Amino acid sequence: MTTLEPEVAAMLEALDTSFPDVTRMDPVAVREIIRDRRAPLTRRPDMRTVTDLQIDGPGGDLALRIYRPHFPESVLPVVVFAHGGGFVFCDLDSHDEFCRSMADGVGALVVSVDYRLAPEHPGPAAFDDVYAALEWSAENVGEFGGNNSQLILAGDSAGGNLAATVAIAARDRGGPTVAGQVLIYPVIDDDFDTESYRRFGVGYYNTTASMKWYWQQYAPRGTDDVRLVPTRAASLAGLPSAVVVTAELDPPCSAGDDYATRLAADGVLVDHHCFAGLFHGFLTFPSLPQTDPARRRIWAMMEQMIHQSLRD
């Protein structure tokens, strides 16, 4: 039995009690419930500039939000960020505070991507949108003070999947050069028989049942496609350096840990940390006492990866 910090136990109890049972509801209805319960935007930390714009995406207009922090450098590394939400929920606003914190903590220009959501747009629609945002960033971030020779792909949860799959596609397609990938408790695959699924599939906010439902929405035609599941790639060699962050109490934790191991085995430089006693999504709860020190550790891992890319 895992012993939880009191604040973590209280948060998990509140989340388990209040979060809708997605498996019993219409996806659009659940999306609206989650959006309506969202706290108002704090717009903190303060940024030097925040720019909302639309680009031409594979499915029409694709919204981006670009965060430039208060840093004296004229040119900053660029993080192309894909939010979590099971491929079904969340948007630019849901991760606004997190993107601001990342931009401020890392000293990077953050390009947040409002990719198309399932089930209205099943995979690989979200993948296609994030890839398009990467290509756009490679061509245009200079206008916003970004360095297109330091492009980082990042995402949490489902967004971690998208960052991983787009990194593989950029390698295989000869696309934009990616300096690093940041996979935060990533949803790597649909293997529900791992140790973490067996141990933490019920009672820790993110359940096995909900994870199966998310995959059904995103990949109704199956997951035998490297654009959907990064482990379908024959090799991970030649991918950019990776920061892989997992959470012990998260059902997809084992898959994320295993992916970090496979990346390293294929010659990729990996900085991997599993946060003990914490649950899926905890980094987007800034009121949790454990969140701020965890974020600072991750920002430091990202900074180190960026500095390493400059030396390579």
Nearest to 184 by CA among 281, 306, 310: 281
Classify strands 146-156 and 76-82 as parallel, antiparallel or unpaired.
Answer: parallel
What are the φ and ψ backbone dihedral angles of 177, each rounded to 5 degrees?
A: -75, 125
From 101, 112, 137, 157, the catalytic residue: 157
Do 226 and 123 touch, CB atoms closer than 8 A? no
Residue 112 is a catalytic residue: no
Nearest to 187 by CA among 93, 105, 83, 58: 83
First to last CA, the chain: 44
Do 132 and 114 touch, CB atoms closer than 8 A? no
Give me the active site residues, please. 157
